[in-house]
Amino acid sequence: MKPFHQRLDFESREDITYEQMIICLFTCSEVMTVVDSFSMENEFDLEKFACKQWIEANDEMIEHLSEFFSMFSNPTRLRILLLLSKKEMCVGKIAEILRMDQSAVSAQLKVLRHLNLVKAKRHGRYMRYKLNNKHVKNVLREGFKYVLKISQ
């Protein structure tokens, strides 16, 4: 399969504007690779997407974003993400810390894996889970900063 920028008829990644990248993001199977390849922390301008035309033309992305944020609305999933933000863990250890059944923890991990918030790696008989990338940790960090600020 051709790299993302070649499939879009661009000479290089540097020729792609953020608008073009976002419009094409969810039609491509390399979403996280493309997003990770840009230094979004310094250059990402959210205001570019805050217009009627973009919002009306990108229902699918809005749905994906809504689904992404819904993962943070469940207290159990949030606790699991917080534990995994420190280090990778197996289901048994997470269940022990949260005082839950392993089957309940596994069900929540399945939901988190579905949206690529966590990934699993086999270690012998056990599956070890960790956050999928730094973006998930950044969302958790920003959420904490916001909650702490409004609670003062």
pLDDT in tens, 38-87: 444 556 677 877 888 888 888 888 888 888 888 889 999 999 999 999 99
Radius of gyration of the chain (CA): 18
The proportion of the chain whose per-residue pLDDT surpasses 90, expressed as a percent, equals 44
Identify the CATH assignment for 74-150 out of 1.10.3720.10, 1.10.10.10, 3.90.1150.10, 2.30.110.10: 1.10.10.10
How confident is the model at residue 31, as a pLDDT?
Answer: 39
pLDDT of residue 47: 80
In the predicted model, is pLDDT for residue 7 greater than 70? no
Q: What is the pTM of this model?
A: 0.68
Domain with CATH 1.10.10.10 in the chain: 74-150
Nearest to 95 by CA among 113, 107, 111, 112: 107
State the CB neighbour count (10 A cutoff) for residue 94: 20
CA–CA gap between residue 39 and residue 37 (Å, rounded): 7
What is the rounded distance in angstroms from the CA atom of residue 98 to the CA atom of residue 65?
A: 28
For tokens 């596994």, what's the residue?
106
Residues 11-35 pLDDT 10s: 444 555 555 554 444 443 333 444 4
pLDDT value of position 50 = 82
Contacts by 43-46 with C-beta closer than 8 Å and gap 24+?
43/18, 44/18, 45/18
